[in-house]
């Protein structure tokens, strides 16, 4: 199996800001690969380099076996790109936008119809509506159709679900799963950690670096310390009480619980949970419960952020 994307030590600076600091990873043919991280992590810069819109300062990148610097025209014909901000022409209709993107790539809607149909059919009834009059979810579907109409071999989606409600996000990921089933390679970025679970593999990105790359279900298994989920009715008071525990390494709210990381790597999470529950119940939290848990992607992301900050020489620069 070959790799659709090969990135080696890719670096990009904008003035004093290092957007990408030596990033290395591969994406396999047909893979659904996620880049997960906050604004400013470097995700957009990476997409712009891979789609040949920005030149790297250092390192190299190949897309479909082609070099992003030397072979830009060959790459451009074969990639689909949905930028973070909508790329649509607001004063053109749905149909006109699609025709325009097809024409730019020397093709027609009919030729691409089979691939775009599952997405496009949902907005086809609004063919004559101007793009600026569409809802957020419909714009997203049109932008995806436009990125697919020339039947690319690889699709780059930069935060396609940002600002979109939970239901539309779920539907969008269902569509990506469908596209992946046709054999398309997809690289997608998101700030929503819960979406990472839908990818084959994810890269956790922060401050221009990749903190970890793994299948989503494996990332939590690498969590280095015992992790316990704690509940009690007075959550904010509980949060502050847990932070005061002598062995607390980190305490964060997670949904309706708090996740408590203990600094004693040699103790089992089960023991620590039992110990915490006893202490809390004796100290003003009669309904407290504590249970050992496996880390999720967000737990791991925060743990990796904390350790990369302590290693970094520029602590406090943020």
Residues binding other proteins (CB under 8 A): 37-41, 135-137, 162-171, 174, 191-194, 206, 235-236, 239, 252-256, 298, 301-302, 305-306, 318
Q: Tokens 């697919």 label which residue?
A: 148
Tokens of 302: 């925060």
Minimal distance, residue 252 CB to other proteins, in Å: 5
From residue 27, give the alpha-carbon distance in Å to each of 1, 44, 113, 192: 11, 17, 27, 20
Minimal distance, residue 38 CB to other proteins, in Å: 4
Nearer to other proteins, 64 or 210 (CB): 210
Nearer to other proteins, 137 or 160 (CB): 137
**Cα separation of 26 and 31, whole Å?**
10
Minimal distance, residue 314 CB to other proteins, in Å: 13
Helices (H), the chain: 43-50, 72-78, 94-104, 109-120, 136-148, 166-181, 216-219, 235-243, 269-282, 297-311
**Cα separation of 82 and 208, whole Å?**
21
Minimal distance, residue 194 CB to other proteins, in Å: 7
Nearer to other proteins, 164 or 188 (CB): 164
Minimal distance, residue 37 CB to other proteins, in Å: 7
> How far from the centroid of its chain's Cα atoms is residue 310's Cα?
24
Nearer to other proteins, 106 or 316 (CB): 316
Q: Which 3 state secondary structure label does DSSP give 247?
A: coil
- Identify the bridge partners of residue 80 per DSSP, sorted by sequence position: 155
Residue 135, H or E segment: none
Q: Tokens 């350790």 label which residue?
A: 307
Tokens of 73: 């025209």
Minimal distance, residue 79 CB to other proteins, in Å: 25
Nearer to other proteins, 112 or 207 (CB): 207
Residue 288 DSSP label: -
Q: Is 95 exposed, middle or buried (0-12, 13-18, 19+ CB in 10 A)?
A: middle
Nearer to other proteins, 5 or 119 (CB): 119
Nearer to other proteins, 163 or 246 (CB): 163
- Identify the bridge partners of residue 13 per DSSP, sorted by sequence position: 18
Minimal distance, residue 97 CB to other proteins, in Å: 20
């Amino acid at each position: 199996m070959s790799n659709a994307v090969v990135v080696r030590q890719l670096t990009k600076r904008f003035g004093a800001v290092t957007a990408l600091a030596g990033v290395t990873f591969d994406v396999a043919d047909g893979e659904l690969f996620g880049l997960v991280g906050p604004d400013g992590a470097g995700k957009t810069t990476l997409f712009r380099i891979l789609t040949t819109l920005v030149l790297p300062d250092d390192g190299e990148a190949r897309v479909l076996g082609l070099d992003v610097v030397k072979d830009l025209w060959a790459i451009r014909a074969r990639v689909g790109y949905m930028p973070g901000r909508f790329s649509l022409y607001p004063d053109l209709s749905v149909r006109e936008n699609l025709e325009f993107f097809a024409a730019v790539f020397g093709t027609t809607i009919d030729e691409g119809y089979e691939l775009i149909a599952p997405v496009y059919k949902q907005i086809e009834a609004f063919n004559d509506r101007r793009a600026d009059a569409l809802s957020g979810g419909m714009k997203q579907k049109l932008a995806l159709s436009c990125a697919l109409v020339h039947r690319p071999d690889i699709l780059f989606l930069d935060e396609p679900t940002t600002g979109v409600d939970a239901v539309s996000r779920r539907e969008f990921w269902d569509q990506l799963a469908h596209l992946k089933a046709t054999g398309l390679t997809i690289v997608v970025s998101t700030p929503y950690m819960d979406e990472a679970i839908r990818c084959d593999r994810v890269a956790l990105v922060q401050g221009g670096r990749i903190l970890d790359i793994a299948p989503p279900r494996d990332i939590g298994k690498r969590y280095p310390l015992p992790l316990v989920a704690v509940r009690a009715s007075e959550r904010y008071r509980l949060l502050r009480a847990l932070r005061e525990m002598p062995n607390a390494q980190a305490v964060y709210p997670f949904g309706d619980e708090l996740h408590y990381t203990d600094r004693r790597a040699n103790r089992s999470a089960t023991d620590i949970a039992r110990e915490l529950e006893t202490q809390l119940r004796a100290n003003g939290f009669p309904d407290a419960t504590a249970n050992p848990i496996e880390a999720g992607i967000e737990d791991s992301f925060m743990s990796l952020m904390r350790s990369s900050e302590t290693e970094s020489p520029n602590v406090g620069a943020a």
